[in-house]
Structure 1
Amino acid sequence: MKRKTIIVLAMVLITVLVASIVYDFTFNSKHRDIANEKAAVMLSAQELYINFKKNEATATAKFLDQVVALRGEITAVENNGIILNNQIQIHFDTEILPTVVKGTSIRVKGRCVGYDDLLEMVKIDQATLIHN
């Protein structure tokens, strides 16, 4: 009887230990810092868009979840983002509206999250401005 109790307590203790390790790894792991990562590729907004229009599957494999640096003209300013060349929708983590003006050229860096078939736009998030 005493041996069964020790085995059950040991199993409970091991289960709690494993659960706490999994919890710690899942919720306290270091997050990706896109702003400080080096861009995997640097190209124009037009070039990125053409890659997705030509072959979405190939472009997705090449650019998805990659940090890309883009240059292009601001064609629209949204709540917390901009649209480059009417083709690339860029979302910033911080407020940038006072520093961007429609019609100006800009360079940005962010994570490519893919192509939106409905809007026919490439989406970039966690973007930051690249200052010359």
Structure 2
Amino acid sequence: MKKIVAGFLILIFGLFITYKYLYHDHRDISSEKSLYTLTVKDLLKEFLANESSANRKYLDKAITIKGKITSIDDKNSTIVIDDKVFVIMSELTKIELNSNVSVQGRLIGFDSLLEEIKIDQAQIK
């Protein structure tokens, strides 16, 4: 009987840990402080020089990018900065094409084929 109770408690504990792991609170990038503030040119230069080093430094981190808006897609809430940074906005506010902006978001990757940096959960600073 003690083995059944112990096994049941271990099972319940394991299910609880699994639930907490799978359904944890999501990260709120907008409330985080940017670890780095860079221009598009400087960030791209680092990725082109050494992609793995730049990934270790910036990947999944809150960063601020400065540059000029070269494309806006209202339908998908995305913008492109300096033709090299693809940004998925948390919400698209009133912005104009060719205006200079600072955008804070989470760097999610670098496409070496297109030489394009990808950022999500972004907002205008």
TM-score (norm 2): 0.88
Report the residue type matching 2:88 in the other structure. Answer: H
Which structure 1 segments of 5+ residues have no match? 1-5
Residues 46-57 of structure 1: matches in 2 within 5 Å? 46-57=41-52
> Is 11-20 or 59-68 further displaced after alignment?
11-20
Report the residue type matching 2:9 in the other structure. Answer: I
| Per-residue deviation, 1:57 | 1.3
Secondary structure of the equivalent of 2:119?
Answer: strand
Paired with 2:54 and 2:23, the residues of 1 have a C-alpha distance of 32
Which residue is 1:60 aligned to? 55
Paired with 2:23 and 2:110, the residues of 1 have a C-alpha distance of 30
Which residue is 1:3 aligned to? none
* Structure possessing the higher radius of gyration over alpha carbons: 1
Which residue is 1:90 aligned to? 87
Flag the structure with higher helix content. Answer: 1
User: Deviations along 1:53-110, whole A, 9 cap, x unmatched?
Assistant: 111111111111111011100011122111111111111122x1x5121111111100
User: Deviations along 1:27-73, whole A, 9 cap, x unmatched?
Assistant: 34232110000000111111111111111111111111111011100
Is 2:124 aligned against 1:126?
no
TM-score (norm 1): 0.84
Report the residue type matching 1:62 in the other structure. Answer: K
> Is 108-117 or 18-27 further displaced after alignment?
18-27
Which structure 2 segments of 5+ residues have no match? none
Report the residue type matching 1:119 in the other structure. Answer: L
Aligned-CA RMSD value: 1.6
| Per-residue deviation, 1:23 | 3.0
Paired with 1:27 and 1:55, the residues of 2 have a C-alpha distance of 33
* Moved beyond 6 Å, runs of 4+: none
